[in-house]
Structure 1
């Protein structure tokens, strides 16, 4: 019996066009191509980033992911409050429609609105070509959600993604298609290079030092020079510059990292003092520690990072400023814990100790991130002669009871008293998904 996976490579990358905004239009019976609509939280300031805008807004010259204040005053538009659970539901329905045509092992979800499909086995199975099969998948998405999809087709994941990002927007059917020859012809000299998947402004600046402003330029640079500049990551740059990608969809789907960590972060809606951030750290550590308990894990390393507000540096231009004035300048560090633990108090004390040692007092803060790393199963933690076994059993029982209460009645059913402070925001964040309204 012939193994269909040995057919020539064909990957389809499907993106749901202006997904959040399209879902809001679909639920209102509106056409996103003729309706001006932005997805943003009106209760936040004018600095709030629009999570999505409709194609009609883009056609009017509004930049995607702009801030509300950047929308020209002459444009009338509707504002939709973000509904992350709704978007997740629609995304799941669309992926489910794809799975009626392809096997789960041949589909890799890349984000809530984008996925890769190894189409090679199905071109023979359905007796079709790649473009027709892509249209069939796009039609499935529209049938279950009224959301329009675009697609990129290529011999591997990288070329499929580039075909989607760069070529699809210039075609009448919303499908971009590349092969090894057309990749060199259409993509090698494309600028700016930051349009290429995986190349951000930082990498682009480092490439510019060596005279590389497009992928053709990357191919022209001596590989030894790139390896000195980027280390192991140079191999990805070199492969991608030639249109190569060693990873298959199935490999991407089955990948499991060697190290495991748990992260928690937030961008603050205003400038916070160093003292106020301690309240946030206590709240964040409670949630992270209880997540470890729920998963039966312990952490061996704790770390914390804060980003200072651009308001601390009024005379400096911050090219990398993020939303709400959060600048690239920051401070932080990590420390190995005395022993693996998921105890709330022990983890909180460790993070606060790092924070107090590294943060600069007096500087306003707009971003906070914590991480618990080198996770391991609780049952593999070795006891020591210095452990207070009775107290640890008591703390574990208390943590498990807290997890059970929060799972049954919601995260806000049980909080520490610090969450009643004015600067606290755990109660609000517990009603959000991904930092936005659920």
Structure 2
């Protein structure tokens, strides 16, 4: 296999750093929390500044978990601002690396295949990382960390584990270094794609380190983890076969479109039904905008945390392929009535449109009212045009004006958080 060099760059405590920069404060020394002050103390902090992490406070903690003795600034989330910063930083990456060699992993993290750029710029990978990180700092005030590796996995681990302990915020790993330096590292959850569930199952087998995974009986691992054992074993040895070209060429065999939300309080059966109708309409408008249709709908309903019952779910297959609200909503409401306990309070919901495809494959059954479907679709297209021109709340249904409705508030948010100024 051809030797390649990969780089993974992460923007340190991104949301919190942006808020510090906007206030003219040093992100590395200022105690700042990004969380909505209008929500309860149980709300999750989207980010905390590095100085708070240094105090042992966990990044995704809830507000009430921050020690009372710690003084800090609480910044309301401003998602549009963070997106703009991320776009500006992506533009910096493009000054050095073509988009074909960049994979955006999240709003604050990217992978890059820098193999062909090192001889072009007559520098090594670390020097390139320094150039990019210095430019990010100069133009945005954001501190970045970088991992360099001989494959994508090692680049990620070099950043997640090694860079944290490096003065220049840069880590490097090849397979031999990985085995020498990290085979005995604990806990296993520090490693990419090893969650607490996987770590617990490994612990039940007496496995606590990557070396122990590498030395373990492979049949036993496959018996516990199934096909996922292959990836676990490869990563234990520091191997990764996926390349940037593989990522760029990947196309999912099936696709879906979903919407979910955590409600501001416990909702009763009828209020929950209202939210499902709102979410279904939003998905129908999204499908109309994208020119796609769906063949089945899945509902997930999460009950109140006080009940100790996690959730129920179900799927309704349709006799048609459509994006018409009038066509889809009867299936959704029938499914809701069938799976939801009327006596239990609801706190979380999600609606998923499955098996979506291009609307050229739209299908009808013998009972379809074609004229009504066309009227529905014209109304949806008109609603989209109005919303795009005048804002998402420029036109809403009567149900959205009810006290329990959430659509109008959610239309002011990005990813469930306030857009901000």
Of residues 142, 145, 148, the one that matches 2:140 is 145
Aligned to 2:157: 162
Of residues 396, 401, 404, the one that matches 2:382 is 401
Deviation, 1:7, is: 6.0
Q: How many residues align?
A: 419
Confirm whether residue 266 of structure 1 aligns to residue 261 of structure 2.
Answer: yes
Aligned to 2:326: 345
Contact 1:18 1:53 in 2 (8 A): yes
- Cα shift readout 1:308-332 (whole Å, capped 9, x = no counterpart): 222113xxxxxxxxxxxxx7x1101
Spell out the pairing of 1:228-239 with structure 2 (5 A cutoff). 228-239=223-234
**More displaced stretch, 212-221 vs 423-432:** 212-221
Aligned to 1:248: 243
Of residues 388, 394, 419, the one that matches 2:369 is 388
TM-score (norm 2): 0.96
Determine the C-alpha separation between the residues in 1 that align with 2:329 and 2:219: 45
Does the residue aligned with 1:15 lie in a helix, a strand or coil?
Answer: strand
- Cα shift readout 1:125-178 (whole Å, capped 9, x = no counterpart): 111111111111111211221100001111111111111111111111111111
Does the residue aligned with 1:120 lie in a helix, a strand or coil?
Answer: coil
Contact 2:326 2:376 in 1 (8 A): no
Of residues 380, 398, 421, the one that matches 1:417 is 398
Contact 1:210 1:221 in 2 (8 A): no
Determine the C-alpha separation between the residues in 2 that align with 1:132 and 1:149: 14
Deviation, 1:383, is: 4.4
Determine the C-alpha separation between the residues in 1 that align with 2:294 and 2:76: 37
Contact 1:332 1:354 in 2 (8 A): no
Determine the C-alpha separation between the residues in 2 that align with 1:276 and 1:391: 28
Determine the C-alpha separation between the residues in 1 that align with 2:333 and 2:182: 49
Of residues 253, 278, 297, the one that matches 2:273 is 278
Aligned pair in 2 of structure 1 residues 270, 387: CA closer, same or farther (>3 Å)?
closer
Aligned to 1:298: 293
Determine the C-alpha separation between the residues in 2 that align with 1:286 and 1:340: 16
Say what the alpha-carbon RMSD is for the aligned residues.
1.5
Aligned to 1:91: 86
Confirm whether residue 79 of structure 1 aligns to residue 74 of structure 2.
Answer: yes
Determine the C-alpha separation between the residues in 1 that align with 2:363 and 2:304: 42
Aligned pair in 2 of structure 1 residues 217, 347: CA closer, same or farther (>3 Å)?
farther
Contact 2:320 2:364 in 1 (8 A): no
Which ranges of structure 2 fall in alignment gaps of 5 or more residues? none
Aligned to 1:427: 408
Determine the C-alpha separation between the residues in 2 that align with 1:30 and 1:254: 42
- Cα shift readout 1:71-116 (whole Å, capped 9, x = no counterpart): 1112211111111011001001101101101111111110000000
Determine the C-alpha separation between the residues in 2 that align with 1:346 and 1:192: 51
